[in-house]
Amino acid sequence: MKYNKLGLFIEEKQGRGEYTFSSQEAENHIQCTKTALKFALHRQLLKKRIVRLHEEFFLIVPFEYRIKGVLPPTWFIDDLMHFLQMNYYVGLLSAAALHGAGHQQPQQFQVMVTSILKPIKRKKIDLKFFQKKHLDSSQIIKLKTSTGYLCVSTPEVTAIDLVTYSKSVGSFNNIIAIFSDLIEKINPDQLIGHAKNNIPISILQRMGLLLDFVEAHEITKGLHQWLFDYHTPKVIPLRSDKQFDNKNINQKWLVAVNEELEIDV
């Protein structure tokens, strides 16, 4: 369908529950020159009716979000990733929050992608992308949102990623607090299955220690048996950026606990 005004095109999309569009899509559906479309986009940007999220990709901001000037990332991240032609899943703190784990909504929306992608910051939108070369459907569940579906890391993959990217999610105590909520959704067999997918042994040792801290022994039992039956773990520090000695080594996981652990409340 062709429109003679950008505003009509935007209203029609919003009426269908769609909140994103590309410059190319607008050009295909609006009867005007490229120059006229450029000025029309500029006017809508000034009115805060739309937000330019990534070069030729725009968000439609409904009235109820006009003061904030932004949409929840869960409304548009899937469309953005399809526009960029990238495999992805919502991960880390953002995935934990979607699984009901964690005591507060993270300010930064964290997404795992297969290629390097610069962070996106627009108004109150803060998107951080983490490169993960091996990303497949076994690591993902699809959650229904008000605008479609969203790819999110499974609880098991979320747990592994939180330890792998611990420097980007706060302290280990923050991870422990998340684990205390997340363990109800972790499947021990699936955790082992993902652990076998070229995850560094040191990551699994640290994760096992942190899961045990929240009494998730039924989850870690099989992981520990597989890890020590088929590998030869060495003593590692919990925090690799701090010195450690042999006085406080967890003998089960061979992790030198060089940071005081407690659950943040």
Element (H, E) at 111: strand 109-113
Place of tokens 């870690």: 220
11 CB contacts (<8 Å, ≥6 apart)?
none
Q: What is the pLDDT of residue 105?
A: 77
Distance of alpha carbon 123 from alpha carbon 65, whole angstroms: 13
Q: What is the pLDDT of residue 12?
A: 95
Distance of alpha carbon 130 from alpha carbon 157, whole angstroms: 14
Tokens of 105: 């909504």
Distance of alpha carbon 127 from alpha carbon 142, whole angstroms: 19
pTM, two decimals, is: 0.94
Domains and their CATH numbers in the chain: 6-65 (1.10.10), 73-256 (no CATH)
Helix, strand and coil content of the chain, in percent to the nearest 5, comes to 45, 20, 35
Q: What is the pLDDT of residue 149?
A: 94
Residue 151 φ/ψ, nearest 5 degrees: -85, 120
Mean pLDDT per 10-residue interval, the chain, length 265 residues: 88 95 95 93 94 94 82 95 97 97 86 96 92 94 93 98 95 95 97 96 98 97 98 96 89 96 74
Handedness of CA 77, 82, 84, 90 (dihedral sign): positive
Tokens of 137: 């459907």
Q: What is the pLDDT of residue 264?
A: 61
Nearest to 250 by CA among 263, 265, 261, 264: 261
Q: What is the pLDDT of residue 42?
A: 96
Distance of alpha carbon 172 from alpha carbon 214, whole angstroms: 12
Amino acid making up residue 198: N
